[in-house]
């Protein structure tokens, strides 16, 4: 090496105007236990870097990594340079200038430490390096982080770095200003139209901006300078929210449930997975972050597949979607190629992610605008067609009174049928198909009055599924609903065969049945048949001592008299049900015969 590098080291007097990428020049040492101090690290087994760009990357690792690089001042005047590490997600970063006599100038920074400790104010980590004439020192870094451990380091001349930092900040501010403007514009449209597509887009734009605020250091610089908990999670958590919003947005824009149901199934699965990842990242970040990275890559691949499938189906929105997503992927790829040294570090490659995200936001916003314009045009065409059809219908009705009368009669009949259907639905429980509580109360009042007039007994039973909450918790709500339908079937097969008898879902896992003319003995026999029939079904119940679903039944029977009312019969049966529960469940309990 000549010029800048000398015998494996760097001459600060020869730094280029656009800075020197340090990736290939480092020597590396990994400290798996994070126990090495400076003296131990100096004596360690150092290995040369294999990086070709400015960044060395170690992925998600629990180790601390040491990096070292000899520096010198080959001139006759003091020289100052700036070490810039443009990755705000380093939890701990110690920068040391080690002199030949073993003394060291040390700077301790990283997002876990106070923002005021940073030698250079900003979202990234920038440290001044000063050498006297002819002086040599070893630049040593110790880095550790729960985030993906990447060290994109660059040495700048002291006079060139402030201009670069200002340009970098200006580009970032331009991006966030654009994101804010686009987000607010679509938020206003969402509030006016109440179209969920605009709402999901606004959530996506806001989440992407929040993630990039953390990733670029804008957040730690201006919004949360001393919030290490959020800085650690500020890329991943908003990233998951953005993924959820983008997938929901895509499902509406590309109509994936109708046009590509298999891919839509994958989208729904990844939406659920991203929802699950959010609390896991908040509570167990280090353990969850690698899985988040895999999930993010899978999400991007699936979204691109949906966009390509939409273009093959000639969906207009899919063209916007694929171009927008491709631009973002290319921008991210440019950034990775810069870090790997394949491309030079410049404004395009350094700000590629923000630029790609900005283009992505603009193109998706245009897709929304195009969708709204098409919807409006379709609505106007539909209104025109409807108006023409209405005019034709009015003309036809005017020409034929008999057709009008026939249609009136037909619609009247249909309305009556619909009313009858609504009346039936208002009396029926949607899950089990049994009578609902409203119908039960009406029948109980009628049968009570009839039994009182005839001087005959009226029997009533309340059935409650044993340990049903535990069943739901273990088996899930879908299985719980099926269990309730099975219990309803047992009741329907046992009760309700004679006139006046009624089986109803009383509420939750509780059922009720009315048996006119039944005394205590008949009710007791009926209750035992119900319990036995449910046992015979042997529905599995892991949380039950019996291993299967059982029920407790409270029974009451009495001859109605003038000074009592039907609610007392329900109360009596309810007390009997509680007695059955208290006696051990899976049994019948008869209160008394009135």
526, pLDDT greater than 60: yes
Domain boundaries, the chain: 5-159, 166-374, 400-428, 437-593
342, pLDDT greater than 80: no
| Mean pLDDT on 405-422 | 64
Work out the pLDDT band at 357, boundaries 50, 70, 90.
low
User: pLDDT per residue over 262-302, tens digit each?
Assistant: 999 999 999 999 999 999 999 999 899 888 888 888 888 88
Q: Which one has a higher pLDDT value, 393 or 286?
A: 286
pLDDT at 5: 45
pLDDT at 350: 52
349, pLDDT greater than 60: no
pLDDT at 363: 65
**How many C-beta atoms lie closer than 10 Å to residue 16's C-beta?**
13
Q: How many residues does the chain have?
A: 594
Q: What's the mean per-residue pLDDT of the chain?
A: 85
549, pLDDT greater than 60: yes
**Helices 236-253 and 261-283: angle between axes, nearest 10 degrees:** 160
Identify the CATH number of the domain defined by range 5-159.
2.60.40.2380
| Mean pLDDT on 397-415 | 68
**How many C-beta atoms lie closer than 10 Å to residue 68's C-beta?**
20
Work out the pLDDT band at 228, boundaries 50, 70, 90.
very high
388, pLDDT greater than 80: yes
Query: In degrees rounded to 5, what are phi and psi of residue 285?
Result: -65, -50
Give the pair of three-digit tokens for residue 380.
């106007």
Q: Which residues, 6 or more positions from 108, have their beta carbon under 8 angstroms from its beta carbon?
A: 92, 93, 94, 117
**Fold identical between 166-374 and 437-593?**
no
Work out the pLDDT band at 69, boundaries 50, 70, 90.
very high
The percent of residues in the chain predicted with pLDDT above 70, rounded, is 86
Which fold would CATH assign to domain 437-593? Alpha-Beta Plaits (3.30.70)
252, pLDDT greater than 60: yes
The percent of residues in the chain predicted with pLDDT above 90, rounded, is 51
| Mean pLDDT on 211-224 | 87
Lowest-confidence region among 117-126, 264-273, 276-285, 579-588: 117-126
Lowest-confidence region among 46-60, 146-160, 577-591: 46-60
433, pLDDT greater than 70: yes
Which fold would CATH assign to domain 166-374? Rhopdopsin 7-helix transmembrane proteins (1.20.1070)
Give the pair of three-digit tokens for residue 412.
């009247």
1, pLDDT greater than 50: no
Give the pair of three-digit tokens for residue 447.
């049968």
162, pLDDT greater than 80: yes
């Amino acid at each position: 090496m000549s010029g800048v590098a000398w015998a494996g080291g760097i001459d600060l007097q020869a730094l280029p105007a656009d800075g020197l990428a340090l990736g290939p020049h480092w020597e590396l040492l990994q400290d798996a236990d994070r126990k090495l101090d400076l003296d131990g690290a100096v004596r360690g087994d150092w290995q040369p870097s294999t990086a070709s760009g400015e960044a060395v990357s170690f992925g998600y690792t629990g180790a601390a990594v040491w990096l070292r690089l000899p520096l010198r001042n080959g001139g006759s005047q003091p020289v100052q340079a700036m070490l810039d590490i443009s990755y705000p997600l380093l939890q701990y970063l110690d920068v040391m200038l080690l002199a030949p006599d073993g003394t060291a100038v040390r700077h301790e920074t990283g997002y876990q430490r106070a923002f005021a400790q940073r030698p250079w104010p900003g979202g990234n980590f920038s440290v001044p390096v000063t050498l006297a004439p002819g002086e040599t020192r070893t630049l040593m870094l110790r880095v550790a982080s729960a985030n993906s451990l990447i060290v994109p380091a660059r040495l700048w001349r002291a006079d060139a770095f402030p201009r670069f930092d200002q340009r970098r900040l200006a580009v970032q501010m331009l991006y966030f200003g654009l994101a804010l403007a686009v987000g607010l514009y679509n938020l206003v449209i969402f509030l006016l139209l109440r179209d969920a597509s605009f709402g999901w887009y606004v959530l996506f734009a806001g989440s992407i901006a929040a993630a990039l605020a953390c990733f670029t250091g804008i957040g730690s610089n201006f919004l949360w300078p001393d919030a290490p908990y959020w800085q650690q999670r500020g890329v991943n958590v908003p990233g998951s929210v953005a993924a959820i919003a983008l997938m929901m947005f895509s499902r509406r824009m590309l109509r994936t449930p109708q046009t590509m149901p298999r891919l839509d199934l994958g989208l729904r699965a990844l939406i659920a997975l991203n929802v699950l990842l959010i609390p896991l990242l908040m509570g167990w970040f280090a353990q969850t972050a690698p899985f988040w990275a895999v999930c993010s890559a899978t999400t991007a691949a699936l979204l691109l597949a949906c966009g390509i499938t939409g273009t093959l189906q000639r969906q207009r929105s899919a063209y916007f979607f694929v171009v927008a997503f491709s631009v973002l992927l290319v921008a991210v790829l440019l950034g990775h190629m810069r870090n790997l040294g394949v491309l030079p570090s410049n404004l395009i490659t350094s700000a590629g992610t923000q630029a790609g995200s900005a283009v992505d936001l603009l193109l998706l916003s245009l897709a929304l605008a195009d969708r709204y314009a098409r919807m409006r045009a379709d609505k106007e065409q539909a209104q025109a067609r409807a108006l023409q059809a209405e005019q034709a219908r009015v003309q036809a009705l005017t020409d034929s009174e008999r057709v009008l009368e026939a249609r009136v009669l037909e619609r009247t009949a249909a309305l009556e049928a619909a009313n009858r259907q609504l009346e039936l639905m208002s009396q029926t429980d949607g899950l089990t198909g049994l009578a609902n509580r409203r119908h039960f109360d009406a029948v109980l009042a009628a049968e009570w009055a009839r039994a009182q007039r005839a001087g005959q007994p009226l029997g009533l039973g309340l059935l409650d599924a044993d340990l049903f909450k535990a069943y739901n918790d273990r088996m899930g709500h879908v299985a719980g609903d099926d269990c309730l339908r099975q219990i309803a079937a047992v009741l329907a097969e046992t009760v309700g065969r004679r006139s006046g008898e009624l089986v109803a879902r009383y509420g939750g896992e509780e059922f009720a049945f009315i048996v006119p003319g039944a005394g205590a003995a008949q009710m007791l026999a009926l209750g035992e048949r119900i319990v036995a029939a449910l046992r015979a079904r042997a529905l599995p119940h892991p949380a039950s001592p019996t291993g299967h679903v059982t029920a407790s039944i409270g029974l009451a029977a009495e001859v109605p008299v003038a000074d009592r009312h039907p609610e007392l019969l329900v109360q009596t049966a309810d007390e009997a049900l509680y007695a059955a529960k208290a006696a051990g469940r899976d049994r019948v309990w008869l209160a008394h015969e009135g």
